[in-house]
Structure 1
């Protein structure tokens, strides 16, 4: 008999969900995490940086490049190109994701919206196959489409969470989803590691570039294929808002509803305060994820295989770390566990600044430390935020949330890129990220979580 999560007891009971339905939800994390890991974390930063260097007139494999590229007439150092692209993608998502969330709240066919976002992002990722030579503009455009579609898919995906379990169940559900995502992303990365190791040739930079391109394409295919699992197993849970809107135009009605939410959101100041804290500290986390491989390649002068092994180590340890911090949250509460993780993140940045160049082992040890705190801090932040959302507004609020979630941070990459362009030092750029973890910790510490949950009209979990 299928295990069932029973409805929560309180003012806003969650509908029951079956084990197969929750497993289907977990599998979207398995599917999309290939994009986070193989594309964002490992291959795309160095790949687009190399393509931008070629466009700037530098030779393939050159350690330094004094040229510039000029997208839309703007002078950009090739080493800053990817960081600026990440920031631009987030600027665009500010306008896209809240609208996607409002539409998700008002549709009775949320799975179709999930499919549209996932397959659009996967197609743009597969399109990287055509980014050859010096086509850095094509690569940048495809990344923008893929990353925005990725964010849109996560908004819809996250909006299912409050409908899968009650307040005391969501930390566990969220942690298991995140853990399975790291496992799936790690498995594809392991396959790419085998391919790079077996097919790569020392001194053949063109072969390395081609292998990176095909690894990126593989992530798009993985994303598309495994998205079929949640589309098959997830059930629709139309909210009262969606049922009331049935028969109308979900897009135009979604815009109107978003306008009403923006006017009314000040009625939930504590929810906004939590969101501000999350935007700050998660910006630091996402910048570390997005730019770690570029830091390892350009500053520490580590080989591609070392980077992939390290990120693979992060992935599999993050699987255990997400479950471990999820278990810790059951004992001391998710809020306290996230605060603890931010202290550990501060230590990670300080250690990364002192890493010696051309030393793979210390880099791998630091990667192991990242893995232990990465998954849990993200999974528990997601479940904490689900407690602060007024019933029926899950999509809209997760739209705001996702603006700074998985790989779509903007202040961190912007600060990193600007500091690099001014100092030509990735280490100095890394130090600029400390402020995000310190300020984020202080802001989160100041949130009265239990009062915030009650103010949103929800029932608090027993332990916070």
Structure 2
């Protein structure tokens, strides 16, 4: 396996650098800003409100992706759907800069999140057109790794603007925060251009009349794909395990800042700790890709699931101060990129390449539906008990379920 990245691989990786800036901003800055809007309107429970907003975004993606994924498997269609969702996300990211009340702000945030996650479905499926089967783990891991480190550049600029802008520029704190949404959107667009300029869809479903035949055959294709998944025991067992463990990963990512805010941790500490997470995640994600070539992707995924189980227990029982939040951020950084990258590449090894978008559409059903359950579970448990720690603890049940299915699944990629 060549150690050098090809031009097409680098172009594909750059989209992770671009979109990760919005992911980081959504994790660290957007919930804090949303909380300030909620407090101004007399609202108080940021964890449940933010959780419900993320649930709605995930539900829309889970419903749309299998259908659109099947259409995108037609020659030339994958990049068109990618552009549509990416463009929607970038425009909505800019729109967050408008002076808004908390409800319209959250609505636009949901639209931006849908645009981001929708583009990622097609982006993930582009991996099989970008590199060879034996390089999936390596390239996918580098995507997440460079996404983590690259996203820190606009993020640091944004944080500097938020903290220094009011004194240096004479802007209000709200105006400085709003400007960060525009900075992030520009970064996102700039690092998407190389992918769009060099991408070619190698694996696709051929039709004589692209859209007409694709639309007519979509539901039949979806039915056949679902039947094929059911018949492929290693695949569906992994998908169920993925459903449970990615729930924990996505929920920890999307709810960490709001959870810390509700615990009373200073916003400066929250943002700084999450920035450190990016720097920790960079080498760890690359290391995960290398370790997978020695121990196998599934073994490394199992390791990360067990680690996340420990992280959830730590967050539930020990996270009280900024120091513990820093520890949590570092632990998450060690395993977050690895489990995401290897899940994406491992799944790509199990599916037929000419129906990648359709299969990744089902992948998104499991991933985004899990996110719906995770954020809804945390939000609802917190609302009922009045204790955010109990809401976080509920994630452990999902991780245990994931471990069971992973241990029962026979790995078809194993060399044994």
Scaled by the length of structure 2, the TM-score of the pair is 0.91
Q: Relative to 1, partners in 2 of residues 1:408 and 1:198: Cα closer, same or farther, differing over 3 Å?
A: farther
Partner of 1:139: 105
Q: Is 1:36 aligned to 2:4, yes or no?
A: no
What is residue 396 of structure 1 aligned with on the other side?
Answer: 358
Q: Is the 8 A contact 1:338 1:380 kept in 2?
A: yes
1:370 aligned to 2:329?
A: no
Asked if the contact 2:59–2:369 (Cα under 8 Å) also holds between the matched residues in 1, the reply is no
Equivalent positions of 1:277-316 (< 5 A) are: 277-299=241-263, 301-316=264-279
Which residue does the alignment assign to 1:219? 184
Residue 230 of structure 2 is matched in structure 1 by: 266
1:128 is matched with 96
Contact residue 106 and residue 243 of structure 1 kept, 8 A: yes
Instruction: Report SS of the residue matched to 1:126.
Output: helix
Superposed counterparts of 1:63-212, under 5 Å: 65=44, 79-132=47-100, 135-199=101-165, 207-212=172-177
1:321–1:372 CA distance, 2 compared to 1 (3 A): same
Q: What is the CA distance between 1:418 and its match in structure 2? A: 0.6
336-345 vs 90-99, which moves further: 90-99
Give the number of equivalent residue pairs: 414
User: Unpaired runs of 5+ in structure 2?
Assistant: none
- Counterpart residue number, 2:33: 47
> Of 9, 12, 19, which aligns to 2:6?
19
Mark the CA change 1:244 to 1:154 in structure 2 (over 3 Å): closer, same or farther.
farther
Question: What secondary structure is seen at the aligned counterpart in 2 of 1:160?
Answer: helix
C-alpha deviation, 1:333, in angstroms: 0.7
Deviations 1:28-73 (A, max 9, x none): 111111121112x112223223323333x35xxxxxx4xxxxxxxx
Is 2:203–2:354's contact at 8 Å kept on the other side of the alignment?
Answer: no
Distance 1:243 1:19 in 2: 30
Question: Which has the higher mean CA deviation after the structures are superposed, 143-152 or 46-55?
Answer: 46-55
Query: 1:193 Cα deviation (Å)?
Result: 2.2
Q: Give the distance between the partners of 1:419 and 1:385, measured in 2 at CA.
A: 32
Residues 254 and 407 from structure 1, CA distance in 2 versus in 1: closer, same or farther, beyond 3 angstroms? closer
CA RMSD of aligned residues (A): 2.6
Shift of 1:4: 7.7
Structure 1 stretches of at least 4 aligned residues deviating more than 6 Å after TM superposition? none
Shift of 1:24: 0.7
Q: Structure 1 residue 119: deviation in Å?
A: 0.9
Q: CA deviation at 1:165?
A: 3.2
> Are the aligned partners of 1:43 and 1:215 in contact in 2 as well (CA < 8 Å)?
no
Which structure shows the bigger proportion of residues in helix conformation? 2
Judge conservation of contact 1:189–1:308 (CA < 8 Å) in 2.
Answer: no
Q: CA deviation at 1:383?
A: 0.8
Counterpart of 1:422 in structure 2 is 384
Q: Is the 8 A contact 1:107 1:246 kept in 2?
A: yes
Counterpart for residue 275 of structure 1: 239
Q: CA deviation at 1:395?
A: 0.3
**Matches of 2:361 and 2:64, distance apart in 1:** 8
Cα deviation, residue 356, structure 1: 5.1
CA deviation profile, 1:344-369 (whole Å, cap 9, x unmatched): 11111122223454x33332122112
- Partner Cα distance (1:293, 1:263) in 2: 40
Q: Tell me, yes or no, if the aligned pair for 2:62 and 2:368 is still in contact at 8 Å.
A: no
Deviations 1:151-176 (A, max 9, x none): 22111111122233333221111111
Contact 1:197 1:305 in 2 (8 A): no
Distance in 2 separating the partners of 1:412 and 1:362 = 22
CA contact (8 A) 2:207 2:213 kept: no
2:304 aligned with 1:341: yes
TM-score scaled by length of structure 1: 0.82
Partner Cα separation in structure 2 for residue 212 and residue 405 of structure 1: 30
Question: Residues of 2 paired with 1:326 and 1:432: CA distance?
Answer: 30
Asked if 2 retains the 8 angstrom alpha-carbon contact of 1:106 and 1:254, the reply is: no
Provide closer, same or farther for how the CA distance between residues 404 and 185 of structure 1 changes in structure 2, counting only shifts above 3 A.
farther
Q: Matched residues in 2 for 1:44 and 1:20: separation?
A: 34
**Residues 174 and 311 from structure 1, CA distance in 2 versus in 1: closer, same or farther, beyond 3 angstroms?**
same
